[in-house]
């Protein structure tokens, strides 16, 4: 078995750019200097999001951020692109269904004032992130689930839409024919889109949305609609988002932990690494336990890390737009 260091060495190749940029973002990354609100923001606006689909999502977010729009509007409009892409089989329209053939969606959103909204187990609505925003802005609650979330969405003017595309239906039928009747867990079916951003005013916001684990048990809800698990934003400190096996992220309060680690002086990269280490230490069986974190601090420094190889993030800023391969702890 290869050592952790060897694995990191393999993963570090694609991460050189990330490390260079974070080093450029701010010189002072001492652990003795916790990030506080009054520090100068070196990079803004900036947006980062999970996986390859983050490139198109970032484009939509950048349209808003580059015109002095808010981070909240940017992350909502950004992830809507992925939700509405029928070719993407892990988010919104075209998402792979649960084992009974239902596409059920989870999403949450959080702003710089710690306002947040979420929907869980929502069906037949293409853009759950916008329903989550309505929950945040138009109700005294944080989360609506199931039929209640659906009825609320209709009341707010959202349209009932069949989310099960022919492509996803066919994949599900193939799975039914060839697989054991259990949820599958692998690297392909866990590509939630999580997006975090800082706007020109220096405010942070984040959004997270998914159709969840493919062929999951009917009724299963993952980390993506849970504030503190799939997403957390503290405007004094930074923001973090998770992707991967939601159960592991919930068990470790993943995104909240990343933000708390930054509060105590860790860089975004170090915070993501420690959160991944915690996932690993809390699970005896790590088979297919892929989890990845992205983090952004108040200064615009960012980082990402994952349990297994293959996780990447899309980054957009005035001076650059690129994909970054995350460092990781293990190979598949």
Say how many residues touch ligand GLY, by CB under 6 A.
Answer: 12
The least distance separating ligand GLY from the CB of residue 26, rounded to whole angstroms, comes to 30
The alpha carbon of 212 is separated from its chain's Cα centroid by a whole number of angstroms, namely: 12
List beta partners, residue 244: 291
**Which of 83/199 has CB closer to ligand GLY?**
83
* 254 versus 303: smaller Cβ distance to ligand GLY: 254
Stretch that binds ligand GLY, among 40-48, 125-133, 218-226, 294-302 (CB under 6 A): 218-226
Neighbours of 6 (CB within 10 A): 11
3-class DSSP state for residue 244?
A: strand
For 265, phi then psi, to 5°, come to: 105, -5
Residue 249 CB, nearest distance to ligand GLY (Å)? 6
Q: Pinpoint the alpha helices (H) of the chain.
A: 4-12, 16-25, 54-65, 71-83, 128-138, 146-155, 166-178, 246-251, 254-263, 268-282
Among 123, 210, 235, 306, binds ligand GLY (CB under 6 A): 210
Catalytically annotated residue among 192, 209, 243, 267? 192
Residue 212 touches ligand GLY, criterion: CB under 6 A? yes
Smallest distance from ligand GLY to CB 96, Å:
11
Q: Which stretch binds ligand GLY (CB under 6 A): 44-52, 207-215, 280-288, 295-303?
A: 207-215
Per CB under 6 A, 224 contacts ligand GLY: yes
CA distance 249 to 255: 8
Tell me the β-bridge partners of 145.
120
Q: Which of 76, 98, 223, 234 is in the footprint of ligand GLY by CB under 6 A?
A: 223
92, 246, 292, 303: residue in contact with ligand GLY (rule CB under 6 A):
246
Which residue in the block uniquely carries the two structure tokens 């979420």?
A: 118
Shortest Å, Cβ 69 to ligand GLY: 27
Gyration radius of the chain's alpha carbons: 18
Binder among 192, 269, 297, 327 for ligand GLY (CB under 6 A): 192
β partners of residue 315: 48, 322
The reply on whether position 290 binds ligand GLY by CB under 6 A is no
For ligand GLY, the closer of residues 70 and 192 by Cβ is 192
H runs (alpha helix) in 41-83: 54-65, 71-83
Closest by CA to 45, choosing from 22, 64, 19, 18, is: 64
Active site residue 192: yes
Residue 244 is a binding residue for ligand GLY (CB under 6 A) = yes
- Among 9-17, 70-78, 206-214, 306-314, which window interacts with ligand GLY (CB under 6 A)? 206-214
Min dist CB 190 to ligand GLY, Å, is: 6
Is 189 a binding residue for ligand GLY by CB under 6 A? The answer is no
CA angle 111, 246, 221 (to 5 degrees): 85
| Minimum CB–partner distance for residue 331 and ligand GLY (Å) | 21
3-state helix, strand, coil in the chain (%, to 5): 35, 25, 45
Nearer to ligand GLY, 26 or 253 (CB): 253
Return the structure tokens found at 218. 């009917």
Which one of residues 89, 123, 243, 267 is an interface residue with ligand GLY (CB under 6 A)?
243
Cα four-point dihedral sign 123, 128, 131, 135:
positive
Phi then psi dihedrals of residue 196, to 5 deg: -130, 145
- Shortest distance, CB of residue 95 to ligand GLY, whole angstroms? 10
Q: Which residues are known to be catalytic?
A: 192
Task: List interacting residues with ligand GLY (CB under 6 A).
Answer: 190, 192, 210, 212-213, 222-224, 243-246
């Amino acid at each position: 078995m290869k050592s952790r260091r060897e694995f990191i060495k393999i993963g570090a190749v694609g991460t050189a750019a990330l490390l260079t940029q974070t080093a450029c973002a701010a010189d002072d990354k001492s652990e003795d200097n916790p990030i506080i609100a009054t520090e100068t923001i070196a990079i803004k606006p900036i947006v980062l999001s999970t996986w390859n689909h983050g490139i198109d999502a970032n484009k939509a977010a950048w349209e808003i951020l580059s015109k002095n729009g808010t981070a909240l509007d940017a992350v909502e409009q950004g992830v809507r692109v992925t939700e509405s892409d029928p070719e993407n089989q892990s988010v919104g329209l075209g998402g792979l269904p649960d084992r009974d053939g239902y596409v059920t969606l989870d999403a949450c959103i959080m702003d710089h004032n710690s306002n947040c909204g979420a929907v869980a187990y929502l069906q037949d609505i293409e853009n759950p992130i916008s329903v989550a925003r309505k929950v945040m802005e138009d109700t005294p609650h944080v989360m609506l689930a199931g039929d209640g979330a659906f009825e609320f969405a209709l009341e707010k003017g959202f349209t009932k839409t069949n989310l099960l595309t022919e492509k996803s239906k066919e994949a599900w039928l193939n799975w039914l024919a060839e697989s054991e009747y259990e949820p599958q867990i692998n690297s392909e079916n866990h590509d939630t889109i999580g997006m975090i951003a800082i706007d020109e005013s220096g405010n942070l916001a984040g959004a997270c949305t998914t159709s969840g684990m493919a062929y999951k048990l009917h009724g299963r809800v993952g980390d993506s609609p849970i504030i503190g698990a799939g997403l957390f934003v503290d405007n004094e400190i930074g923001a973090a988002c998770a992707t991967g096996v939601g159960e592991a992220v919930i068990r470790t309060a993943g995104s909240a932990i990343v933000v708390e680690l930054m509060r105590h002086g860790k860089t975004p990269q170090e915070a993501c690494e420690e959160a991944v280490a915690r996932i690993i230490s809390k699970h005896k069986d790590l088979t297919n336990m892929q989890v990845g974190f992205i983090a952004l601090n108040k200064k615009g420094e960012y980082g990402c890390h994952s349990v297994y190889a293959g996780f990447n993030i899309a980054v957009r800023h005035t001076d650059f737009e690129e994909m970054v391969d995350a460092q990781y702890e293990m190979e598949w």
